[in-house]
Chains A and B, each alone.
Chain A
Amino acid sequence: MAAAVLAAPFLASEYWINAIIVPFLILSLAGLGLNLLTGYAGQLSLGAGAFMMVGAYATFALQLRVPDLPLPLALIVAGLIAGAVGMVFGLPSTRIKGFYLIVSTLAAQFFFEWLFLKFPWFYNGNSSATIALSRGLSVFGLDANGPHGRYYLTLGAVALITLLSFNLIRSQTGRNWMAIRDMDTAAAVIGVPVLHAKLQAFAVSSFILGIAGALWAFAYLGSASVQSFGLHRSYQILFIIIIGGLGTIRGAFFGAAFVSLLPLVLDWLFQYLLSGQVDAGLLQNVQKAIFGILIIWFLIREPEGLSRLLAIRRTASRRLFPS
């Protein structure tokens, strides 16, 4: 498995790496970040796009204005900035719950869309208001601009953060989050520091989302703008964890795979069935409706998502073929 992942760039075509595998990995990372907050700590957020945006713009500013800082460190600092921002927008969660919280995360979404577009400082006065790394991607002197470089950069970040997250959710912190998600009053009674843990969840989640946003902007898109992280991105990340499975780390990967592959499959299906007679706008709307139906279906039939479906299948096959 590990060998296959490392050797993937030599097995897959450049198109697959650039257009499918790299975005899949980054979306998984973003899903993972949101899942820690929503799936584990039970705090619903519609601001995933905003925190990704903060990460991307922070990386841009750091690379532009602190040229000595190597890219991996810049990513981490950008993540920390996003984490701090996430914590600020998580503050209302210490006093309120549920739907009221959605407003605070939505406010983050709209505020940063406005902020990064309004002040040229954030995009360095570029005429198209987009951000791109002028010096390209490099990891401690190694050039990471080619498809392989981007792949390994993304893979490295995703693998590292996934590993850390696995450990985090098995630690006291993760257990605190789950206790709050399941019943916050009970959690408080048994001595879980609820406020502290909620803010922690916002910070960690936004940290990961920030790094995912920076990767999305520079390792996948190359140049990004505010539109790359709009509300639709927030929905997309939320859908990833609903489809993949709320409160599972693997779920983020299944969900991201599903979300990145479904449009391709639908596209192919329409081309095949109707031999290219379909209007692109219609296709987009059909896709949208299918996504919506799938979300509802998963919520009704399998709230734990693909991750659980696959687990059931695996135990079933073990029962059939005992090893």
Chain B
Amino acid sequence: MSMFLETLIGGLLSGTMYSLVAIGFVLIYKASGVFNYAQGSLLLFAALTFVTLTENGVPAYAAIAITVALLIATAIAIEKLLLRPLTNRSPMTLFMATLGLSYVVEGVAQGIMGSQVRALNLGIEDLPIFVGDILISQFDLVAAGVALALVVVLSLLFNRTRIGIQLRGVADDTRAALSLGIDINRIWQIVWAVAGLVGLVAGLLWGARQGVQFSLSLVVLKALPVLIIGGFTSIPGAIVGGLIVGAGESLAETYIGPFLGGGITPWLVDAAGFALLFVGRGGPAGGGSRGGV
């Protein structure tokens, strides 16, 4: 039983890291209807910039500030060069454009900062702690705390600030928002920048866990089943989805994996998402995927 609990808790905690990635998607999808495939590349870009700066002796806080500035500049560039020219085009076209964008971001980031694996030390000790007789990773605990804090900050941003309310207006009804004089291009810039910041947080946590390298950008693929479960438009959905995927993944690897020869996690979550699609549910808050003209 304690083994089960341990696996479950470990899975839930690592699930918060999936939630973080998924939140980046949801933000952009809500505000601009774009399925942003480049979220993973932005995450890699952010983590890589931070690591390169700290390796060259820049203090951590300054490195964060520079990375954030770069992410904001990137968001503005993306809005001006990619989103604006593609306004009113089909969602599929926009998706493919973000696929192209991911190539640009990865190519430029790795071209300038190198593609070898970098170690990233956030100063969090990864000593396991015991709660009763259950082993919990301290790092996972901190990561979950950070994720929680981020969610609180985001919900404050959305519910209490003028920008947040404008943003929700755009997400609810773009045309109505436009007619009220909301500067939609600026909202897009802001939302992409915020998604970039969420990417930075996720990138640092993931990077500390598995090293900063190209495979970091593939984390986005893990977020897809999270989105299937939680829906594309709901932040609470993304959190719950992340937890479910994290827990499901680690339980499956422990209890089903041995029968299939192990190593099943890369496809299992996708397969679960697939099964869910097959049953035909678009997630609790999902919807929007079926029917209608």
Contact = CB atoms under 8 A, between A and B. Distances in A.
Interface of A: 42, 44, 89, 91-92, 95-100, 102-104, 106-107, 110-111, 113-114, 118-119, 183, 185, 235, 238, 242, 281-282, 285-296, 299-300, 303
Nearest to B225: A103
B88 interface: no
A291 B106 CA distance: 11
A289 B111 contact: yes
B100 A293 contact: yes
Contacts of B228: 100, 103
B1 interface: no
A285 B280 contact: no
Interface stretch (B6-14, B158-166, B270-278): B270-278
B290 A292 contact: no
Interface stretch (B91-99, B200-208, B247-255): B91-99
Contact of A292 (B91, B107, B282): B107
Among the interface residues A113, A185, A282, which one has the most CB atoms of the partner chain B within 10 A?
A: A282
B99 A235 contact: yes
Given A289-B103, A299-B97, A110 B293 contact: no
B contacts with A: majority SS:
helix
Nearest to B86: A300
Taking residues whose C-beta sits less than 8 angstroms from the other chain, chain B's interface range is 35 or more
B110 A99 contact: no
Contacts of B102: 292
A103 B270 contact: yes
30 contacts: A42-B92, A44-B96, A92-B278, A95-B280, A95-B290, A98-B91, A98-B289, A99-B95, A99-B232, A103-B225, A103-B277, A104-B277, A106-B221, A107-B271, A110-B266, A114-B263, A114-B264, A118-B260, A118-B261, A118-B263, A185-B292, A235-B99, A281-B115, A286-B107, A288-B107, A289-B107, A290-B107, A292-B106, A293-B104, A299-B86
Contacts of B95: 44, 99, 102
Interface in B91-138: 91-93, 95-97, 99-108, 110-111, 114-115
Contact of B270 (A42, A111, A281, A286): A111
A103 B85 CA distance: 27
B115 A111 contact: no
A281 B214 CA distance: 13
Given A100-B289, A119-B261, A303-B89, 7 more contacts: A91-B278, A103-B273, A111-B267, A114-B263, A289-B107, A293-B104, A295-B99
Among the interface residues B89, B91, B100, B108, which one has the most CB atoms of the partner chain A within 10 A?
A: B100
Contact of B103 (A102, A185, A288): A288
B269 to A, nearest CB: 9
The 5 nearest A-B residue pairs measured at CB: A289-B107, A292-B103, A295-B100, A288-B107, A292-B104
Given A95-B280, A103-B228, A114-B267, A44 B92 contact: yes
Contacts of A235: 99, 103
A292 B99 CA distance: 8
Interface string B226-238: 0110001000000
Nearest to A93: B277
B82 interface: yes
Given A100-B289, A102-B224, A300-B86, A292 B100 contact: yes
B50 interface: no
A282 B111 contact: yes
Nearest to A289: B107
B268 to A, nearest CB: 9
B18 interface: no
A104 B279 CA distance: 13
A296 B92 contact: no
Contacts of B271: 107, 111
A285 B106 CA distance: 8
A97 to B, nearest CB: 6
Contacts of B232: 99
B90 to A, nearest CB: 9
B45 interface: no
Contacts of A294: 100
B35 interface: yes
A108 to B, nearest CB: 9
B28 to A, nearest CB: 12
Contacts of B289: 96-100
Contact of A185 (B260, B266, B277, B293): B293
B153 to A, nearest CB: 27
Given A99-B35, A103-B228, A285-B111, A299 B280 contact: no
